[in-house]
Structures are given as structure tokens and as C-alpha cells.
Structure 1
Amino acid sequence: MREINTVHLNGLRAVEAVGRLGSLAAAADELGVTPGAVSQQLVKTEAQLGRVLFERSPRGLAVTEAGRPILARLSRAFAELAQAVGEARRRDESVLTVSVAPIFAARWLVYRLNGFAERHPDVRLRIDATTRLVSLDASDVDLGIRVGAGRWPGVRSELLLEQEVFPVCSPALAAELREPADILKLPVVVDEHAMFSWDVWLKSVGLAGAEMSVRHSFNDASLALDAAIAGQGVMLAWQTLAGYAVMKGSLVAPFGMRAKTGFGHYFVTATSRRESKAALAFKQWVREEVEEGMRQLAAIPAPSAAPPSSP
């Protein structure tokens, strides 16, 4: 056990994370530091161990032959350590910690929480709203909901909802829209962090390559949606972001045309822990709420689908 005192634990964590995730950027995101800091930890740890664990090339890092067995044992050791920490921090299963993006929490989840509380009064939810990919093995998070392609390392992923995008705008801006090409006349509000562009929807309605005029851009999807509600432009939104505002009438989806992005909402859980009854109940409730919400959204007629009124 004395030998471990000659190597910094943070350095070993960095080595294990890079080896498991395959890149400095992914390891930095999991560890909550910069890629530069991870790189420095690798160099120091290799010096302390007296051997090269990664080959450096313009294409990135590759584990050396000498490094493979070391990384395999480190991964097993940190998995055991994470499980021990998780057991030590285990709380009453009546408290369920759910990690979600702030935008999903604010625009979809909070409107519906009373329904879960009424059905499961014995479960207290703790919502951890963050854009970071929380390590489920090494934290007290029981369940996460993420948006992406569903291929995150080290977690179990279950598809909840395929992401579809569609234009939304205020009722006033939607009044003169009759066909998809009319939307090109409207100013656009943009979510700078969106994983897709307007080309996804424009191509699906036969307008590939068309130019849009951007009025405002935001680094937060919720702010972009508020700008659309305020009548400042049209936004390309998705179901869980804009569904509630469309159902309430503060936004209009002027065309009944949606485009798939290739991404989706996924439940993610730790591979090293069993799912609690509370987590299973929450997942079932969310699925039912999503399905009902999509039925309600699909039932709202697109204003542009109706014939223009006679003069």
C-alpha cells in the first residue's frame, strides 16, 4: 500500500478517465477540469510511474502496450472505489436524485411535478439541474435524462423520445404564414448551443440551402424561447422545449411539419448499481407524461393548415 503514496491520486484518476473515455476532452468534462489540466496530470503520472502509458500523435492519444494492463486494473479499482463511496453515501431510497439539463427542468419537468407527487407521495425528488455529464458511478445521482445520440460510455441508456424540431413563433407573427417558404420572411432567434441547424428542417420541407435572417442569438435555449414568445422572431424548437408554450397558446407551431435530428432524450443509469423502486416509478411516470404530451401537441391544428378566411 505504500507504493500508492508515491503517485498522486488525481493523476491516476486522469489516466484512468482518458484511457476509458478515449480523449482529453471527454476526461476533462467528466472530471470537471480543463483538457490542459488533464494533459499535465498524464505527464506527471507517467513520470512518477516511470513508463509511457499513452502514445501522442496528431490524431490524439493511444494506449501503449505497456499501459493496457495498468489501465484495466485502474478502471476496476476506481469502479470498486466508486461503488464503495456510493454505498457509504447511500440515502433512504425515498429520496430520488435526478440529473437533467436546466432547460428540460425549466420548460418541461417543473410543470408536471405535482402529478408525480400525487402518485408517489412517499418519494421526494431532488432535481440536479446541470449541463455537465455527471458521473453516475461516482455521485449520488440515481437517474439522468440526457439529450444526444445515446452512446455515452459507462452508463445504461434507454430511449425516451426521438427529438424532432419545428418552427415556433408568436401568434402575431404566424398570422400571415401560409406555406413553409413564408417563414423565410421572418427574423430568426437562435440558440447558439443547439446540436442542429435550420438546415435540418428546411431540407425536410424542400427548402434546402435557403437563407434565414438572424435577429438575435442566445447562449441559452430558454432565453431564445422567451424571445420567440415576445414576438422577436421565429425559433427552431423541439417537443419538450416548446410543447407547453404551444399548448398554452403563447407560441404557435405554424406548420404541421417536423424533422428528426438524429438525437433523442434518453434515461441514463449507472451500470454498477441496481435501479431503485423510486427510479423505476419515476421513469414510468415520465414516459406516460411524454406520451400524453406528444398526443396533446399532435392534436393542436397548425394555423397555416386552415384555408385563409374570405375577405
Structure 2
Amino acid sequence: MENLNAIPLSALRAIEAIARNGTLGLAADELGVTAGALSQRLAKAEAAFGQSLFVRTAAGLKPTPIFADVVPRLTHAISELSSIVADIRLPKENTLTVSVAPIFASRWLIWRINKFNQQNPNLSVRIVPSLEVINLDLSEVDVGIRVSQDAAIGRNAVKLLDQRVFPVCAPDLARTIHTPHDLLKLPVIRENEKLYGWKSWMSDQGIEGYSLPDGPTYADASLCLDAAMTGQGVFMAWETLACDALERGQVSAPFNLRARTGATYWFATSQRSRRKQNVNRFKDWLEAELACSISLWNSTSH
């Protein structure tokens, strides 16, 4: 192990983060340093190894062939070191950090998390809204609630539910809608021009070759739902986003049909956090709450 005496751990962390993220900026953000400081660490690492480890390209930094071969092993080794440090430290059994998509947090989780807090008064839950898919093995985050159209994200990910979409609008506007084709006569609220969910829902209705009308654009699905509440048009929402508003009568669903998008919600943990009792307690509570919601959703849809 004498080789390790010549290379500081900080240098190994630096080159691993750069290789995984592809740019100095992203790697610096992850490590909590400036890009300039990370550039200096990279220079020292390359000097210690006696060779360049990256090729500079227009897109960022690409590992050289010899370094690219060992990057997966280096990532695994640093992940293991992170887990060892966490295991040796006094376990923070009274804290739980959860990374979750902002919309899921604000539209579904926040309205229910107090039940868990009341059941676990000695546990402090920290919710971290983030669109970033955090590497749980390299962070202090215990749980990641994620949405993906791919297979399970992470080695320990457990499926929570399938994402289903359906059109919603203000109650007064819903009373003017009688067939799916009526939707094509109304303003369509959108996050962007991808018009998420419309293709899946219209296809399930057997409608092809349609053109969706223009409508207001808000670069946030939560704002789009708010716009639907105020009567600005029709929005293709999903259950964890809109069903509480639907139950409160803030929006209406002109049709009971809900279409799967192919996306799935996952409960992800790290090798370290999966062994924590509070993580399993939170998972059991979350699955029970979602089961209640799913039962209600299924009673009003098909």
C-alpha cells in the first residue's frame, strides 16, 4: 500500500468526481470547492501520476484511455470509503435526510409528512427538494424518492407506483367538456412544447393525428396546475401532482381515464442507509400512505 503515500485522498476524490461528472464545474459543486481550486488539485494529481489523466474537449474533460479503465474501480473504492466513514461515526439515528423531486414534495408529501412526524417525535426528518439524481453512496442523503422511465435507479431501489396522467381544468370549464375531442377546442396549458403525457392519454382514447391548441406556458408543472385552477385552460397532470387539488374541488377531471406514461416512482437507498431502522420505518409509512392514495385514485378512475 506504499503507493497510497504518494497520492493524497483529496486528489483521488478530485479526479474521480471530474471523471464521473465530465466538467470541473459540476465536480467542484459536488465537492464543495471552487473550480479553480479543483483545477489545482487536478494538476497536482496529474503531476503525482506523471501523466495527463484527461483530454480537454469542447464538451468538458474526458478521461484518457488508461484512466478510463480504472474509473469504475476508483468510484467503487471511494464509495466504500464513504460508507466506512459513515459506519465508524456515531450513527445519527435521530435524523433522516430525504431527497425528493420538488413537485412530489410540495404537492403530495408535505401534506402527509406530519403524520410520520407525529408517529416518530424523536426523529428529525430533513426534506431536500432537488431535481438532481444524487449519488446516495457518495452523500449524506439517506433516501431518494425518484421518478424515472428507466429500470430501478440504484442498486437498492424499490418500486413505489406507476405514474398516470389525466387532463384537469377548472370546474366551470369541465362542465363544457363532453368528449375527448372537446379538449382540442380549449387552450392547452404546458410546461414546454414536449406536452408531457398528452400522447399517452390521447392514444388510450384512440385519438390520433390531432393538433393541440396553443395555451399559456409555465416552466413548472406546479404552476401549470395553478393555472388550470384559475380557468386558463386544460393541463395534463399526474396523480401525485393533482389528486389532492381534485379532492378539494380546486380542479375537475372531465374524464375518469388515466393513462400510464411509462415512468415509475422509486424508493432508493444507499448500502449504508438501507440498514438504518428509521429508513425502513419511513419506507413502511410511505408505502402505506401511497396505498391509501392509490386506493382512492383507483376508485375514481379506470
Provide the TM-score with structure 2 as the length reference: 0.81
Indicate whether 1:118 and 2:118 are aligned.
Answer: yes
Shift in Å at residue 68 of structure 1? Answer: 5.3
Shift in Å at residue 227 of structure 1? Answer: 0.7
The 1:153/1:32 distance shift into structure 2, 3 A limit, reads farther
- What CA distance in whole angstroms lies between the structure 2 residues aligned with 1:122 and 1:72? 39
- What CA distance in whole angstroms lies between the structure 2 residues aligned with 1:90 and 1:152? 31
The 1:196/1:274 distance shift into structure 2, 3 A limit, reads same
Tell me which residue corresponds to 1:67.
67
Identity of aligned pairs, percent? 40
Tell me which residue corresponds to 1:3.
6
Task: Name structure 1 gaps, 5 residues minimum.
Answer: 303-311
Q: Which has the higher strand share?
A: 1
- What CA distance in whole angstroms lies between the structure 2 residues aligned with 1:280 and 1:194? 37
Letter in 1 for 2:294: M
Letter in 2 for 1:94: N
- What CA distance in whole angstroms lies between the structure 1 residues aligned with 2:25 and 2:200? 27
151-160 or 215-224, larger mean C-alpha shift: 151-160
State the Cα deviation string for residues 118-158 of structure 1 (Å, max 9, x = none). 33334332111111212211222111100113546654211
Q: Secondary structure at the match of 1:242?
A: helix
Letter in 2 for 1:253: A
Alignment of 1:1-311 (within 5 A): 1-5=4-8, 8-9=11-12, 11-17=14-20, 49-51=49-51, 66-67=66-67, 70-87=70-87, 91-151=91-151, 154-192=154-192, 196-300=196-300
The 1:299/1:151 distance shift into structure 2, 3 A limit, reads closer
8-17 or 72-81, larger mean C-alpha shift: 8-17
The RMSD of aligned alpha carbons is: 3.8
The 1:74/1:232 distance shift into structure 2, 3 A limit, reads same
1:86, 1:139 within 8 Å by CA — same for their partners in 2? no
Q: Secondary structure at the match of 1:98?
A: strand
Tell me which residue corresponds to 1:307.
none
Provide the TM-score with structure 1 as the length reference: 0.79
- What CA distance in whole angstroms lies between the structure 2 residues aligned with 1:98 and 1:141? 6
Task: Name structure 2 gaps, 5 residues minimum.
Answer: none
Tell me which residue corresponds to 1:308.
none
State the Cα deviation string for residues 243-302 of structure 1 (Å, max 9, x = none). 101111111111111111111111011134433221111111111111211222233379
Letter in 1 for 2:296: Q
Shift in Å at residue 237 of structure 1? Answer: 0.7
1:7, 1:48 within 8 Å by CA — same for their partners in 2? no
Count, aligned residues: 298
Shift in Å at residue 179 of structure 1? Answer: 1.2
